[in-house]
Amino acid sequence: MAATDLERFSNEEKRNLSLGGHVGFDSLPDQLVSKSVTQGFSFNILCVGETGIGKSTLMNTLFNTTFETEEASHYESAVRLRPRTYDLQESNVHLKLTIVDAVGFGDQINKDESYRPIVEYIDTQFENYLQEELKIRRSLFNYHDTRIHVCLYFITPTGHSLKSLDLVTMKKLDSKVNIIPIIAKADTISKSELHKFKIKIMSELVSNGVQIYQFPTDDEAVAEINSVMNAHLPFAVVGSTEEVKVGNKLVRARQYPWGVVQVENESHCDFVKLREMLIRVNMEDLREQTHTRHYELYRRCKLEEMGFKDTDPDNQPFSLQETYETKRKEFLGELQRKEEEMRQMFVNKVKETEAELKEKERELHEKFEHLKRIHQEEKRKVEEKRRELEEEMNAFNRRKVAVETLQSQSLQATSQQPLKKDKDKKKQSSYLSLLHIN
Ligand code: GTP
Ligand code: MG
């Protein structure tokens, strides 16, 4: 085909495509957003603080709703965790919110073990997630993630310092959960006292090495606000669901004879700051930190405990398969060793029993021989006795015959002549001598 023909052909065949819309991979974030929105979110808050410190009121105020709550009694024998899950919706975003209350915290006389049920609860949630991850058929897509994303630690507004229970509990929790300390019922403490109290709390946390959650400053969009807010920690909050008329507006507040404490007034308390930080700005970071820091640590420790390692003793990469093979070999070796040990033990036991039986047999045999000897001796004695008795019997019979003969002769003699008397007397004397002899 000549060059001019080719040109003409390509001009005729060319299709003009008009674009239906914007084309490009910059729509990827939108795809992620729409996928996440469809999937919904879960957020889990753990409230730790003394009974009646204002946990439920604050939750109700934060989410502007009334969650089902019942007052905890002061007579719980131990701390107990009570999770409650609610399905919330804001525009088209679904949130599965779980609020976990540490019921009875601080009510026991001996508070040494108060932190333990809380740590165990957090670990159980991590364990459940790990088990789901390790399943052959995982369904993390619709798995209800119950891992605690944030722990709101309610500090009693004493104005003095932290209690040792607070320090111990926060220290035990800081590697497992994001802790945000808050001073509860902050309306009960004056402004100057509050300032000093906050400084005191922060210095005590630092000196005791308690790591609280720091709002992230690596994302430019929120770096400024987060660093400002970090300086306001711990937040001093007031909770109330009561609405009070201030000016011509209804606001959530606590009304006292001497005035009104407005929950959402930043010059009255830090409630708005807490809400901003917790819900609007850092909710996703709290979820992420939970997964990448706390859960990761739990997972690593757990897998190491189970014997899994990333590297071998020579620091060479060591795959899961290799670990499995090594563990299997170790296990089989151990099994064989145990089997051999059991076998040896069995043989020894049999030998021992055999020896014991032989000893018993020997003893029995000796006893039998002894008895046999006694029996023979007895038999011999009885024989002798029998013989003696027989001899005595024979002698007796002989005497008896002699006496009878004598008697019959004396009878005859009385009836015959006296001539014969001498003859018979002789015979009689011979019989008598016979009787004497015997
Ligand atoms: P339990 O669940 O029983 O441990 O109690 P809780 O910690 O959930 O406390 P709750 O929210 O039930 O509040 C206990 C009492 O404290 C109620 O009378 C509240 O009105 C009051 N209260 C709650 N928040 C505040 C606050 O910020 N300031 C003051 N002064 N009182 C508050
Ligand atoms: Mg409550």
Distance 57 CA to ligand 1 centre (A): 6
pLDDT > 60? residue 420: no
Residue having the nearest C-alpha atom to atom 23 of ligand 1 = 54
The preferred substitution site among 50, 57, 252, 268 for testing ligand 1, maximizing ligand atoms within 8 Å of CB, is 57
Each residue's pLDDT tens digit, 221-276: 888 888 898 988 899 999 998 888 888 888 888 988 888 889 888 888 889 999 98
DSSP characters for 297-313?
HHHHHHHHHTT--SB-T
Question: C-alpha distances in angstroms, 275 versus 207, 284, 285, 292, 431?
Answer: 28, 14, 14, 23, 148
CA distance 97 to 99: 7
**Residue that wins the pLDDT comparison between 294 and 135:** 294
The answer to whether 295 touches 147, Cβ cutoff 8 Å, is: yes
pLDDT > 90? residue 65: no
pLDDT band at 438 (very low <50, low <70, confident <90, very high): very low
User: How much is the pLDDT for 75?
Assistant: 77
pLDDT band at 8 (very low <50, low <70, confident <90, very high): low
Each residue's pLDDT tens digit, 183-194: 999 999 988 899
- For residue 234, say if its preceding peptide bond is cis, omega within 30 degrees of 0: yes
Both tokens of 262, joined, read: 């407005």
User: How much is the pLDDT for 1?
Assistant: 46
Distance 272 CA to ligand 2 centre (A): 21
- Cα angle: 160, vertex 164, 165; to 5 degrees: 115
Each residue's pLDDT tens digit, 365-409: 999 999 999 999 999 999 999 999 999 999 999 999 999 999 998
pLDDT band at 161 (very low <50, low <70, confident <90, very high): confident
Both tokens of 198, joined, read: 């906050």
pLDDT > 70? residue 28: yes
Please tell me the total number of residues recorded for the chain in this structure. Answer: 438
| Residues measured by CB to lie within 5 Å of ligand 2, the ion | 55-56, 69
- List pocket residues of ligand 1, CB cut-off 6 Å: 51-57, 71-72, 101, 185, 187-188, 238-239, 254
CA distance 197 to 203: 10
Over the Cα atoms of the chain, what is R_g? 54
pLDDT band at 166 (very low <50, low <70, confident <90, very high): very high
Distance 261 CA to ligand 1 centre (A): 15
H-helix segments, 135-219: 164-173, 191-207
pLDDT band at 7 (very low <50, low <70, confident <90, very high): low
DSSP characters for 368-388?
HHHHHHHHHHHHHHHHHHHHH
Distance 258 CA to ligand 1 centre (A): 20
